[in-house]
Structure 1
C-alpha cells in the first residue's frame, strides 16, 4: 500500500514539474518567435533571482574540484587555509582558557521562553520527499500538506482521503474512533450489500456528528466509497442523509480496497532535517542554548519545571540511591523531543546536526560518514569522559545512550588508519565543501 501511494505522488510531482516547463512544441514546428499581445490576466508571481553567496559559490566550486579529483583552485585553497588558520587560533585560545579554569560545560544550557542570541540552532526543520524538496518547520509543513492533499482529492479521492485522516488530524484517539466508525459502515455494506438500512447514514446521527464530521478527510472517504448527500423523509420530516449506490463506484471491490487502505494507517511522513552546521571553537562555546522546539513540554510546563529546580538541587545534596538518580535522569530526558549532537574533530572544528531522541546511534555514524573527506575509513566516537561508543551501541536510541538534550562527541580516526594518513601527509577530516559552511561570527 505504501509503495502504491509513493508511486502515485511521484507521478503527481513529475506532472507538476512537466506543467511548469511551459507549453510543448512539435519537432517540425518553426522556431520563429511569436509575439503575444498583453494579457488581461494578472501575471503569475515570479520570485526574483537571488545570486548565490560567495561561500555558496566557493562550495559549489569545491564540490566540482573534488569530483574531478583535482585540488588546484587557488581561491578555493586560500579559503580553506584561512578557515584552518582561524580555527587553529581559536583552538589555542580555548586550550589556554581550559588550563586556567575548569572548562566550559559539555552540554548546552537549557533555555525556556526568551529568544537568546546564543541559540545553538534557530529551530527544528523537516523535509517531505513525498511533496517537495523544501525544508520547513513542522507548522509550515502542516499547512503545506493540507493544501497539497486538498488539491489532490479530485484526482484520487480514496487514497488521498485516507492520508488526510492520518496526516491532518492530530488527536490520535479521535482519529482511531473515526476510523472504527468508517470501517463499520463499509463492513456493513460488504457483508450485507442488499440490506437497505446499511445504504443510508443520517447526517444528524450522534455518532456521525461526534466522531466522523470533526475529522478532516472522513466525509471525502465516504464520498469515495459511493455515498452521496440527499434529502430523505424521516418520520414525516425531511433530513439530510448520505446514501450509498453501487453506481457511484467502479465496482464492489472498491469498498474492500478503501477499507484496507484506511486500516493501513499510512500518513505523509516528515523527515527531520539535520540542519548541518560547522562551528569554530569560539562559535561552539557561545552558541550553547536550545530553542523551545526541542522540548516535549509546553511553555507553561517549562515555567513549572523551572520552579521545581530548587527542589532538585536540594535533592542532589542528599544521599540518594542509584535507582533514585536514574529515575530523575529518565524524567529529565523525557522533557525533550530532539537533541543536538556536535562532533568535535582534532583540528578544532565542530560538525553539528539535529536528531530525534528516538533515532538510533547508527544515524549519527551515518551523518559523520557522509561529511568526512575520507568517507570509507573507520573512526571512533567517544563521549567527553573518554568512554568509546561501541558497535553494540548502534541499535540503541540517543535517549537510551543518555545523549539528550545535547552532547559533544569526540572524533578520532581508527588507530589502524591514522598512522597511514599521517604518513601520507593527509589528515583532513571534513570534506572541503562542508568546511566552507563555517559561519561568520
Structure 2
C-alpha cells in the first residue's frame, strides 16, 4: 500500500471509505505531490535564518561571487564589446548593400525612362511621316522622298526596290535562251528569299546530278516523280527549279505509278551520259550568287545652310510594323518587372540590339570646312568604312587623308555599323583634313583646283 495512504489515513483525510471516495482520492494525490515539490525547493535554498539575523555580509559576498562566477550564458565586457562591433559592421555592410541596390534601381529607372522617351519620339516621327508632312517648305530642294535602289550590272535605272526586283527577274528570264544553265541557277539563288530553303534545294538537285554522273544507265536515277515527298518539299515550290531541270535535260512525262499515271521528270540515257554537261550544270548551281538590288546613295550636294541639322526622314527608315509595335508595348509592360532585378551585361546588350534593329537606313550629311554639304543614304548595318568610301569617291584627290568627326569625336572604328556609332536614323558629320595639304595642292595646281570635291559633283550643288 502506498506510503501517502498511511499518512493520510492517520490524519483521517480520506474519510470513512477512501477507496470509494474518487474525488477526495484525486485531490489528496495532487496535494501530496505539491508538498513534495515544495520540500525539494526548500532543500535547495539551504538552511533558513531568523528575521532578526544580519544577512548583509552574506548578500555582499553573494553579489561578489555572482560577478566573479557568471553563468555560462552571460558575456564578459570584452565579449560584449566585440559583439557590438560585429553588429555595427553588419549594419554598415547591410546599409551599403541597400544603398547600392537603391542606386541600381534609380539607374534602371533613368535608363528605362530615356529608352521610353526615345521610342515614343521615334514612333511619333514614323507616324508623322506615314501621314505625310503637314507643311510644305517652298523654294527648297527635295531632300529625300523615299529610298531608291539600282542594279548596275543589269541597268542604270534607279527606282524602288520592288521595281528593280521585277527588272532583275525579267533580265534572267530573257537570258534562258542563250545561257539556260547559268540563268536558271541564278534564278534559284535570286528569286527565292528563304536562304535556308535555297540551300536545301541546291543540295537535293546536286544529289540528283551526282546519281546521274555515277550511274547514267540506272533507270531509277533518270526519273523524278513530282509527287515524291522530298521533291515536293525541297525542290518543287522554288522558282527556277523547273527551268534548271529542263536545262539539265529532263522533260515532263506521264508514267504509270500505282495503277495511275502521274507526272515525272525523265531524262534519256543519252542525255544522262553527258558527264561534262552534268558537271558544268552542278558547278553553275553551286557557284551562282544572287543578284540583289543595291541601295542607291542618292548623292546630293548643298550650299552652306543653317538647316543642315534639320532632317525630313521617310517612314521607310524605320523598322516599325504593327507586329513590332505590339512587341514594343509588351516590352513597356515588362519594363516594370526590370525594376525588381539588376540588369546583367547580357540583358543590356539585348536591349541595345533591339534598339539598333529599329532602323533600316541612315541619312548622313558630311559638312566640309567651307560649309558645303554632301548627303548620302546608307543602310543601318553599313559600316563606317562605307561612309569613308562614299566621301572618297566624290573627292577630286581621293588620295588625300581626312577625318570624319561626330559630336567632337573622330570616327575611327571602321568595322562598326552606322547604327552602332549612334548615327541612325540621321546625322551630320564634319570633314576635316590637314590644311597644309590643301595649300600644297593649290600651290602646285593653281587656285582653280582648290575644291575638295570633283568638278562634276560641284556642278550638282543646290539649295537645301
User: Pairwise mapping of residues 82-161 of structure 1 onto structure 2 (< 5 A)?
Assistant: 111-113=125-127, 114-117=130-133, 121-161=144-184
Q: Given the two structures, how large is their TM-score scaled by the length of structure 1?
A: 0.65
Over 3 Å counting, the alpha-carbon distance change for 1:301 and 1:410 in structure 2 is farther
Deviation of the 1:145 alpha carbon: 1.0
Question: Bigger CA drift: 431-440 or 345-354?
Answer: 431-440
Map 1:215-364 → 2, pairs under 5 A? 215-248=238-271, 251-279=274-302, 280-286=304-310, 288-295=311-318, 297=319, 299-304=321-326, 307=329, 323=345, 327-364=350-387
Alpha-carbon distance in structure 2 between the residues aligned to 1:116 and 1:428: 38
Q: State the partner residue of 1:187.
A: 210
Q: Which has the bigger relative contact order, CA under 8 A and spacing at least 6?
A: 1
Report what 2:427 is aligned to: 407
Runs of 4+ residues deviating >6 angstroms = 308-322, 421-426
Deviation, 1:123, is 2.4
Matched, 1:204 2:224: no
Whether the aligned pair in 1 keeps the contact of 2:222 and 2:269 (CA below 8 Å) is: no
**Corresponding residue pairs, total:** 330
Q: 1:387 aligns with which of 391, 406, 409?
A: 409
Aligned to 1:376: 399
Which whole-Å deviations, capped at 9, do the CAs of 1:387-421 have from their partners, x for residues lacking one?
1123xx33444344343332221112224425657
SS at match of 1:332: helix
Radius of gyration: which is bigger? Answer: 2
Cα deviation for residue 337 of structure 1 reads: 3.0
Matching of residues 69-80 of structure 1 within 5 Å: none
Do 1:112 and 1:299's aligned partners in 2 also have CA atoms closer than 8 Å? no
Shift of 1:377: 2.5
Shift in CA distance, 265/373, structure 1 to aligned 2, threshold 3 Å: closer
Deviations 1:271-317 (A, max 9, x none): 3211101234244344x24323333x352145336647977999999
Find the aligned partners of 1:123 and 1:163 in 2 and give their Cα distance: 29
User: Matches of 1:346 and 1:329 in 2, distance apart?
Assistant: 34
CA contact (8 A) 1:112 1:302 kept: no
Give the TM-score taking structure 2 as reference length.
0.62
